[in-house]
Structure 1
Amino acid sequence: MNSIHRSEEMCLVQLFLQNEAAYLCVAELGEIGLVQFRDLNAEINAFQRKYVREVRHCDEMERKLRFLEREIKKDGIVMVDTGENTEVPLPRETFDLGATFDKLESELREVNQNEEMLRKNFAELTELKHILRKTQQFFDENEGERQALHSLAQEEFLDDGSSLIPRDRGDASHVSKGNLKFVAGVIQRERLPAFERLLWRACRGNVFLRQAEITEPLSDTMTGLEVQKAVFIIFFQGDQLKSRVKKICEGFRATIYPCPDSPQERREMSIGVMTRIEDLKTVLGQTQDHRHRVLVAAARNVRTWLTKVRKVKAIYHTLNLFNLDVTQKCLIAECWCPVAELDRIQLALKRGSDESGSSVPSILNKMETLEQPPTFHRTNKFTRGFQNIVDSYGIASYREINPAPYTMITFPFLFALMFGDLGHGLIMFLFGLYLVLKENRLEAARINDEVFF
């Protein structure tokens, strides 16, 4: 006789399921959630069981869905969750879902790769735009000192301690006449002081560095993060210094860009860079729109897909607990279930057999055993919380008196004694009201590996 003061009376039953009907029968049993299966293959390795390939397929589909979820959250798109109970897909529908996920993942990865490449090109062109602009300003600042720079470039080294650093610089055309070369690039602003000191020491003062800060933050070509950068131009003489300067730039992760010598070539290059930047903006916008459309379409179904895949995975995990008979045509299972629910369990087995089209019905056979059955307390939405509180301290033995019904009375009373002031009471009331109003949404969002069973 059932009582709220004790756990349900349980029995051990044996199930005989046809291979073609086992999937849907287990799905029906999982939906009612009244059975606990025993592992009849405890001596068999988990990777050697009958349905291990199907479980791996479900794991792969879960991985693809998690990838879709990350991309959807990255774009700030709301995932639709109806809160309705999702039907278990048939095995052939599972493979169709897998093909859909393959297509979505490959399309998104291709779009992401193209977008990353476009963003990198856009960042490089933006840096080159600033370099050309700042370099022209460097050469145009002190027009009156060109001749001094030209004459300085013609001088020979007097000794190892003599410096080639000019007090200022002139136009690049005059620099080239004196065999004075230069490189231009960008570097993170925080690395610039150390970069300048190392250049001075490594080149023994025979280089001349000019730098200008870029006011707007730029996207780093390596990490994609926005950082503060500065443009630099380094004047030097000779191939040995050129090699040394480039190695130092590489060590500080400074990016060097080609910069023409003449003003006319720089202007033409600037026009070409600006044109390419505008074209990249257009293509990048179209790529982002396409990616957003794909993610919006996926966001409508990703929660439902995830529930379906996890249900299928749970079914195959359960089927791996079953044993095959000698004919290899029938699966044998053992499970604990409440005695009062045997008729409901048989009805679920009948539904599963009928839906699969099996001509042989599933058989339920009650077994006698001396083993102690598991504890099962029947709960509802109200009593479940109090039962969980009691179970957190220890689960009662089979048919032992259950303290949960008394906890429903004593716990709120003691809680009220601990927090008896009006402020705490108001906070608890508002929090409880929020949980009641958002019950369906919160319950639907609680998707984990234990969908049922």
Structure 2
Amino acid sequence: MGELFRSEEMTLAQLFLQSEAAYCCVSELGELGMVQFRDLNPDVNVFQRKFVNEVRRCEEMDRKLRFVEKEIKKANIPTVDTGENPEVPFPRDMIDLEATFEKLENELKEINTNQEALKKNFLELTELKHILRRTQQFFDEMEDPALMEESSALMEGNEGGRGAPLRLGFVAGVISRERIPTFERMLWRVCRGNVFLRQAEIEDPLEDPATGDQVHKSVFIIFFQGDQLKNRVKKICEGFRASLYPCPETPQERKEMAAGVNTRIDDLQMVLNQTEDHRQRVLQAAAKTMRVWFIKVRKMKAIYHTLNLCNIDVTQKCLIAEVWCPVSDLDSIQFALRRGTERSGSTVPSILNRMTTKQTPPTFNKTNKFTSGFQNIVDAYGIGNYREINPAPYTIITFPFLFAVMFGDMGHGVLMTCAALYLVIRESRILSQKTDNEIWNIATNKLTFLNSFKMKMSVILGVIHMMFGVSLSLFNHLYFKKPLNIFLGFIPEIVFMASLFGYLIILVFYKWTAYDAFTSKDAPSLLIAFINMCLFNYGDVTNKPLYRGQMGIQIVLVLIALACVPCMLIVKTMVLRRQHLWKKHLGTQKFGGVRVGNGPTEDEAGIMDHDALSQHSEDGDEHAEEEPFDFGDVAVHQAIHTIEYCLGCISNTASYLRLWALSLAHAQLSEVLWTMVMHLGLSSRSGGGFFGLSIIFAAFAMLTVCILLIMEGLSAFLHALRLHWVEFQNKFYTGQGFKFVPFSFESILEGRFDE
């Protein structure tokens, strides 16, 4: 088909860039996005390359911008996105950017430090205000004769019944509300009941200055007698992180202190408001230019990272680079180099030379918004070999056709077309919308947990189900009295499966018990561990062992599993042949286990079929009519059975993963429908009674039918995908190439690949 529907013709080219023009030339190539740079310094450490300091400076600026961005998001200030694509700053402008970001970061850190100190002071004054207010109530209650008699009796009783008048000391403070019960029990046990505790809750929550969380606290006052108890009480308060405050003993002093505290709180609140207003102004000003700053810094970092891929000639005046690029875009690349040279002010032009090479070029298929979706479907199977026919243009026609054949509904097709048309019209607005990462983080974590859990449960259920099926074969062998199938069939099969996949189940349960939700990310991969086990690969440092002695146990288990294969493949075939020869020479006798002629010993007879032994005892020396025995056919049949079983253990186990996929999809869709429709409707206070509930239920039922029941659309898509990947593409499509990844600012800013 000539050049029709093939990947672009690529060439390897050499660039000679003058040192003063290299930065601007690479900048222009990044805007063009049509060249892929090769690393000409593969043996040079990244920390020893020429522009490593510039890369570090860009990373430091990026870090400062991320800090400012975090503060902006914390303050719920929207970031302005005008869609502007600023040019790359000149290298001399880096100093100004660094000074701007340094000043902004230091100013925000100073504001945060001062604000935290002010909030801490405000918290202490607020807690002291509540203490002064509550302790006055406590002292008023202590003047109650009945309460005084109770506390005096408590103190005197614990001091051995002494009747001398008591002079009680006290400490007052604030503690987290949830610690009160434990705090009270500890006081009682350590002080042996010689203290009297009163506590009252603070109605409004207080802000933690360090975290910003709202914390519920309680005021307490502890009465005691003697310095020894005083020291014990203070140590307990310190252990429970309770804040103790000085509290005057006389009402007049407490009243005067409360007035002073209220005045200080009012002054401090005014300073806090002014500090917060200043912080908001700084962040709002930064939010207007945050996106432009990010683009400039990341473009600069990408340029210096690319320059580190180049070689520098001996004169230190020229940089040499090698790039892959499409032949059809050579003129555009030359024009970009001229623009870069002119922008830098250099008078020496940059040179591009095509090179001849035997290396396989990368594969590049030009796409647009319409064709990129179908190209992604093809690339998901594998990147095409260089100059291989690209299936994507055919897929544009055949994929919708096969989907329509399987979907087969004009009405639903019209609805899907309308939905697609809506997405096309609203494309720019949908792409510009920002999604709150913290809602989705929760959903992702939950989905990740269910994904891993259900996948492992599918494997467990699958292996148990298969082992149960193998176990049922034992009852058949017993019923038909075929001990040979038990010893050389059932036992090797169950041992083979238990040694490999039964052990895998044990590892799954062990991992669940040994690693909790916080340490599971550091746990070794069971899949990699199982593959390494089968390959006897124990030098993988990236996957640490699960337990001590794992290597020895796994080697023994694999050797046992491997030993089962010749039992099923060779030993059984040879025993069947031995039985045939024994029946053929039936006239021989055996006495007391001593073999005469070709007769079997008692040990051999123990594993022979019951039919053969009974035939020997009934027919005596008379030769019964023998069934035809072809050793080759029996060997081939046994080999097929053994290979099918061993490979089937793997493929069937993987097949059970459909339990995981369908269960997870159904559960997530069901939960979304319930949360977003029924739950919101039932929890709404503005519902219209029975009529409103009927509408909500009807909407829920319709969505349930459309999403959970009418899933032929998704099924048709998946089956069409499989038809293209397997039945269609494998007839001509190898898919073993590597993709052309050009140096492009657009790709870098969109995060399509890591730098």
TM-score norm. by structure 2 comes to 0.55
- Within a 5 Å distance, the mapping from 1:5-16 to structure 2 comes to 5-16=5-16
CA contact (8 A) 1:131 1:184 kept: yes
CA contact (8 A) 1:120 1:221 kept: yes
> Are residue 314 (structure 1) and residue 307 (structure 2) matched?
no
Report the CA distance shift for 1:431/1:232 in structure 2 as closer, same or farther (over 3 A).
farther
Residue equivalent to 2:190: 202
The 3-state SS of whatever aligns with 1:382 is: helix
Residue equivalent to 1:167: none
What does the per-residue CA deviation read over 1:353-390, in whole Å, with 9 as the maximum and x for residues that have no partner?
01101111101111111111111111122222222221
Shift of 1:152: 4.3
Residue equivalent to 1:376: 364
Residue equivalent to 2:114: 114
In structure 2, distance between residues paired with 1:438 and 1:209: 66
Shift of 1:274: 0.6
Letter in 1 for 2:61: M
Residue equivalent to 1:79: 79
Shift of 1:151: 11
> Are residue 105 (structure 1) and residue 105 (structure 2) matched?
yes
In structure 1, distance between residues paired with 2:26 and 2:155: 91
The 3-state SS of whatever aligns with 1:259 is: coil
Structure 1 spans left out of the alignment, 5+ residues: 165-176
Residue equivalent to 1:137: 137
Report the CA distance shift for 1:306/1:412 in structure 2 as closer, same or farther (over 3 A).
farther
Report the CA distance shift for 1:100/1:126 in structure 2 as closer, same or farther (over 3 A).
same
Report the CA distance shift for 1:147/1:437 in structure 2 as closer, same or farther (over 3 A).
closer
Residue equivalent to 1:395: 383
The 3-state SS of whatever aligns with 1:16 is: strand
Residue equivalent to 2:422: 433
Report the CA distance shift for 1:149/1:258 in structure 2 as closer, same or farther (over 3 A).
farther
The 3-state SS of whatever aligns with 1:406 is: helix
Residue equivalent to 1:191: 179
In structure 1, distance between residues paired with 2:433 and 2:337: 27
- Within a 5 Å distance, the mapping from 1:31-430 to structure 2 comes to 31-141=31-141, 143-145=143-145, 152=152, 160=159, 178-220=166-208, 223-416=211-404, 426=415, 429-430=418-419
Shift of 1:95: 2.2
In structure 2, distance between residues paired with 1:25 and 1:387: 31
Report the CA distance shift for 1:76/1:241 in structure 2 as closer, same or farther (over 3 A).
same
In structure 2, distance between residues paired with 1:139 and 1:444: 60
CA contact (8 A) 2:151 2:196 kept: no
In structure 2, distance between residues paired with 1:305 and 1:84: 11
CA contact (8 A) 1:419 1:425 kept: no
In structure 2, distance between residues paired with 1:431 and 1:253: 59
The 3-state SS of whatever aligns with 2:320 is: strand
Shift of 1:403: 0.8
In structure 2, distance between residues paired with 1:227 and 1:427: 50
Report the CA distance shift for 1:312/1:201 in structure 2 as closer, same or farther (over 3 A).
same
In structure 2, distance between residues paired with 1:369 and 1:316: 27
Report the CA distance shift for 1:366/1:407 in structure 2 as closer, same or farther (over 3 A).
same
In structure 2, distance between residues paired with 1:132 and 1:303: 50
CA contact (8 A) 2:116 2:209 kept: no
The 3-state SS of whatever aligns with 1:301 is: helix
CA contact (8 A) 1:25 1:352 kept: yes
What does the per-residue CA deviation read over 1:285-315, in whole Å, with 9 as the maximum and x for residues that have no partner?
1111111111111111111111111111111
Shift of 1:212: 1.0
CA contact (8 A) 1:183 1:234 kept: yes
Shift of 1:437: 1.8
CA contact (8 A) 2:16 2:350 kept: yes
Mean CA deviation greater in 131-140 or 211-220: 211-220
Report the CA distance shift for 1:33/1:451 in structure 2 as closer, same or farther (over 3 A).
farther
The 3-state SS of whatever aligns with 2:171 is: strand
Shift of 1:418: 5.8
In structure 1, distance between residues paired with 2:23 and 2:201: 67
In structure 1, distance between residues paired with 2:345 and 2:73: 42
Report the CA distance shift for 1:268/1:434 in structure 2 as closer, same or farther (over 3 A).
farther
In structure 1, distance between residues paired with 2:233 and 2:299: 62
Residue equivalent to 2:617: none
RMSD after superposition:
2.9
What does the per-residue CA deviation read over 1:310-365, in whole Å, with 9 as the maximum and x for residues that have no partner?
11111111100110111111001111111111111111100100110111110111
Report the CA distance shift for 1:214/1:419 in structure 2 as closer, same or farther (over 3 A).
farther
Which structure shows the bigger proportion of residues in strand conformation?
1
Report the CA distance shift for 1:452/1:44 in structure 2 as closer, same or farther (over 3 A).
closer
Shift of 1:201: 1.2
Report the CA distance shift for 1:431/1:256 in structure 2 as closer, same or farther (over 3 A).
farther
Point out the structure with max Rg over C-alpha: 2
Which structure is higher in RCO with an 8 Å CA cutoff and minimum separation 6?
A: 1
The 3-state SS of whatever aligns with 1:334 is: strand
Letter in 2 for 1:185: G
The 3-state SS of whatever aligns with 1:216 is: coil
CA contact (8 A) 1:58 1:309 kept: yes
In structure 1, distance between residues paired with 2:155 and 2:401: 96
Report the CA distance shift for 1:135/1:151 in structure 2 as closer, same or farther (over 3 A).
closer
In structure 1, distance between residues paired with 2:420 and 2:257: 63
CA contact (8 A) 1:83 1:441 kept: no
Report the CA distance shift for 1:267/1:380 in structure 2 as closer, same or farther (over 3 A).
same
In structure 2, distance between residues paired with 1:441 and 1:112: 35
Which structure shows the bigger proportion of residues in helix conformation?
2
Structure 2 spans left out of the alignment, 5+ residues: 435-746
Q: How many residues align?
A: 441
CA contact (8 A) 2:172 2:221 kept: yes
In structure 2, distance between residues paired with 1:94 and 1:420: 60
